[in-house]
Amino acid sequence: MSSMSLLRIASRGPSKTFFRANRPVAPTRSSVSFIPGLVAGSSLNFSTTVSRKAAAHHEETFEEFTARYESEFEKVQDVFELQRNLNNAFAYDLVPSPSVVEAALKAARRVNDYPTAVRIFEGIKAKVENKDQYQQYLDELKSLREELGVVLKEDLYPEEAK
């Protein structure tokens, strides 16, 4: 057999008769019109799964949310886990309680991630409704900020605080 004919056989791929014996071959576009079940958007094209109802989910209270994230931040062992938990906590339509922020700041200190500690306060500032609420968070967490040495972005870059 010449090398050119070997190349032709190799480029053709496996024969369809080999696969047809084991499993059905996917129909071509021209044959789809003749098979009534294969219509675009038909449920026959996909496997069926059990539908899950949203009503089966438990509504989490703010206290449960707070307890869950406090325990999550206490278990943090690296920067990835810290940032993942922060992203998840700030993704909700609520501002985390000061106890959650305190646990997050302690976790940032434990994994030695100062920039994330500064960013926690930026996240709080973005989530609160007004400056008074932000100031209440700052007042409540002032002792912890001083203990950990966390400086606010407004203090680091005063010209951007406008």
pLDDT score of 66: 95
What letter does residue 129 receive in the DSSP assignment?
S
Q: Taking the domains of the chain in order of start, what are their residue ranges?
A: 3-45, 62-161
Cα 139 to chain centroid, rounded: 31
pLDDT score of 158: 87
pLDDT at 128 over 90: yes
Distances (CA, A) of 121 to 29, 114, 146, 151: 57, 12, 14, 9
Class of 62-161 in CATH: mainly alpha
pTM: 0.64
For the chain, state the CA radius of gyration: 29
pLDDT at 3 over 90: no
Q: Which two tokens stand for residue 11?
A: 């480029």
Report, as an integer, the average pLDDT of 45-66.
Answer: 72
Report, as an integer, the average pLDDT of 101-130.
Answer: 96
pLDDT at 7 over 80: no
Where would I find the H helices in the chain?
3-12, 16-22, 29-32, 62-74, 79-90, 98-110, 114-127, 131-140, 142-148, 153-156
Residue at token pair 């997050």: 104
